[in-house]
Structure 1
Amino acid sequence: MSHTIDYYFAPQSPWTYLGHQRAWDLANKAGATLRVMPVDLGQVFPISGGLPLGKRAPQRQKYRLVELARFSEALNMPLNVEPQFFPVPGDDAARVIIAVDQAHGAQAAMAYTGAVLTAVWAQQRNIADAQVLAALLQECNLDASCMARAQTPEVQATYAQNTQSAIDAHVFGAPSYVVDGEMFWGQDRLDFVARKLGV
């Protein structure tokens, strides 16, 4: 049976960063179709009862840093728990990811997404800066024209559609993996995704 994974994420999410490569590896191992679907969490949170990081209770914010450090160590992934450029708007990066997906397909979009996430969480780079997004395209050997494409109505419409699809699927946080209609929230649920995929 061929599976489809709707991969809902925000390009500035540390949890997306921690699970990104593993999710891609699982999809490849299972021969699953993975749909790269960056979303605007600013629209998802109010509908689902979530709060932006700065509005969460202090004990939640403090524990988040503990968990990020734990997962960074456990997964052997470099991660600055309080990076220089965070919080950071993810909309521009999301639109470039969509442009890459439209121009070059899911594999290129996943590679570029990985570069964007690494830029925030391991490299202290500002993904709200167009020059950084363009440099990441170059580093991934992708067409610079994706920057212009990201500004088109078509890409903006796709971004809005992704966000609405996430809301319709009852997504409330990033990353969320919807496998054949069943949702798994968080990179720490990838073991369950693997079971669902049969790998």
Structure 2
Amino acid sequence: MAHIDYFFATVSPFTYLAGRRLEEIASKHGATVTYKPLDVVALFGRTGGTAPKDRHESRQTYRLQELRRLSAKTGLPLNVKPAFWPTNPAPSSYAIIAAQSAGGGNLSKLVHSMTKACWAEEKDIARDDVIREMLADAGFDPALADKGLLQGADTYARNLEEAVMRGAFGAPFYITDTDERFWGQDRLEDLDLHLSGKL
């Protein structure tokens, strides 16, 4: 059975625009997925990238155009300049880590709701009340927002180290159990083809 390690950031618009296509692909191929939220700005710094706010104006302008086009292509509504971005990604990431460990709910729904809240619903995903609401809506115990803090902080830091060690440098980033690497939501088709044995 194939396995995919999914490195992503809850504050990444490209993670949001991936929608739930990874889960559809994994289901199609009988693959399992481990969700590995991380601090993407720290990842940029460790791997030669630049935070969006520090990029040249031409790159920032292109990024906004690309986001607008991707939103139209995917049918996912997106505010290219949301009210609560940037925000602290750690609390939402800790909640996802705790939920994955606890089980019993819909992790895919939780991850997508976190990114959608930031990029389409003008919610601050660093707020406890927002996180609790999303945990409950995805079928998890809202108290995980508190219970999973220590485990979440430790795993969050380890996810970053693992991403650097395994060659990830952005989000979303997908790595198979055969070390095939796919960067960006626009490479999900390639991941699908790889799992089909065509790439």
Q: Is the pair's TM-score, using the shorter chain for normalization, greater than 0.5? A: yes
Aligned letter for 1:174?
A
Structure 2 contact 93–152 (Cα < 8 Å) conserved: no
Paired residue total: 196
Q: Which residue is 1:156 aligned to?
A: 153
Q: Which residue is 1:32 aligned to?
A: 31
Structure 2 contact 107–138 (Cα < 8 Å) conserved: no
**TM-score, structure 1 normalization:** 0.94
CA distance in 1, matches of 2:76, 2:19: 11
1:189 corresponds to 2:187 = yes
Unaligned runs of 5+ in 2: none
Q: Which residue is 1:172 aligned to?
A: 169
Residue-by-residue CA offset, 1:11-62 (whole Å, 9 max, x unaligned): 1100001113011111111110101110122321112111111111111111
**TM-score, structure 2 normalization:** 0.94
Structure 1 contact 24–110 (Cα < 8 Å) conserved: yes
**Corresponding residue SS for 2:84:** coil
CA distance in 2, matches of 1:119, 1:146: 18
Structure 2 contact 16–115 (Cα < 8 Å) conserved: yes
CA distance in 2, matches of 1:188, 1:66: 15
Residue-by-residue CA offset, 1:160-181 (whole Å, 9 max, x unaligned): 2211110111111000000121
CA distance in 2, matches of 1:119, 1:27: 24
Structure 1 contact 48–172 (Cα < 8 Å) conserved: yes
CA distance in 2, matches of 1:177, 1:64: 21
Which aligned pairs between 1:15-164 and structure 2 lie closer than 5 A?
A: 15-104=14-103, 108-152=106-150, 154-164=151-161
CA distance in 1, matches of 2:34, 2:115: 17
RMSD of the alignment, in Å?
1.4
Residue-by-residue CA offset, 1:106-160 (whole Å, 9 max, x unaligned): x6222211110110111110101111111111222321121112212x2222112
Aligned letter for 1:74?
K
CA distance in 1, matches of 2:127, 2:72: 29
Unaligned runs of 5+ in 1: none
